[in-house]
Amino acid sequence: MREREKLSETAKLLQDRLTAFAAMDSDTQRAYLKQILDVIKASARKDILERLVEREYQERLVTAVEKTTQTDFIAEDTLISPWAGSATMVVVNLEGSILAAASYNTSNQTEDKTPFALAKATTAMHLYQARMFGGLHTVENMDYLARSGAQPLVDIFMGSGRHPIQAETTRLFFGSAGCIPKSDYVKDLLAGAYPSYDTQAGLFDNIFSDIATEYFAYPTVEIRPRPEPNALREMRWRN
């Protein structure tokens, strides 16, 4: 019982900190960004976030993540199944409330990626409030975060939905982590980092998040193959 109480207290404290951060103006948020990312890194485990999610959003996110892991790419008239069976996503709204946190894992990955996913969703929310649009997809936004004290590849990584979605009176922000591609798919794509702050992992987290965000926004959309994303096509062409 005491252990469950501790988890609930930690969850409440985390949510209170996120809510307070979201209520700040964008300049104050920028000053506190590194601090809130440290809080997330220390306490945003999967078992903590499970105490905060809302059932409706949770069910939608679980379905969206599962659909995305089954979504093929079309590359040069070839159908490719890119995902290795591991992904974590978190959804927060403009007020900083944690609405959903889903993990899908049929691979051998054991690390809890939930803190990384929440950090990305929270950072995407801050970028939006600071009128830095495009989430964690752009070099400009990653430069902005670096100047704010959030060090790329240490405090923050690429892997958010490119755009938030509207939900009633708020907006929803998505963060993805641990979205692992199949090794036989990426072996001929890695001609170098793209863009400059990107890593292979961050690039695929970004791509996964965009697809899953669409499935989340439109729950009745069926699984369908999609053209290979531009960033991956360019990597292929450079080889």
H or E element in which residue 90 lies: strand 86-93
Backbone angles phi, psi at 92, to 5 degrees: -125, 155
Q: What is the pLDDT of residue 238?
A: 62
Tokens 């969206």 correspond to 64
The C-alpha atoms of residue 9 and residue 25 are separated, in whole angstroms, by 27
The C-alpha atoms of residue 49 and residue 41 are separated, in whole angstroms, by 13
Lowest mean pLDDT among 67-76, 150-159, 228-237: 150-159
Q: Are the CB atoms for 24 and 122 separated by under 8 Å? A: no
Q: What is the pLDDT of residue 193?
A: 44
Closest by Cα among 202, 201, 223, 203 to 212:
223
pLDDT of 157 above 80: no
> What average pLDDT score do residues 178-201 get?
65
pLDDT tier for residue 188 given thresholds of 50, 70 and 90: low
Lowest mean pLDDT among 42-56, 131-145, 191-205: 191-205
The C-alpha atoms of residue 169 and residue 61 are separated, in whole angstroms, by 19
Q: What is the pLDDT of residue 237?
A: 66
More confident residue, 34 or 162: 34
Residue length, the chain? 239
For the chain, give every domain's residue range.
Answer: 2-238
More confident residue, 233 or 70: 70
Tokens 């495009």 correspond to 134
pLDDT of 223 above 50: yes
Percentage of residues in the chain having pLDDT higher than 70 = 89
Helices and strands (DSSP H and E) totals, the chain:
9, 7
> What average pLDDT score do residues 12-30 get?
96
**Per-residue pLDDT tens over the stretch 95-136:** 999 999 999 887 666 789 999 999 999 999 999 999 998 888
For residue 112, the SS3 value is coil
The C-alpha atoms of residue 95 and residue 73 are separated, in whole angstroms, by 35
Q: Are the CB atoms for 132 and 121 separated by under 8 Å? A: no
Structure tokens at 46: 């999967």
> What average pLDDT score do residues 18-22 get?
97
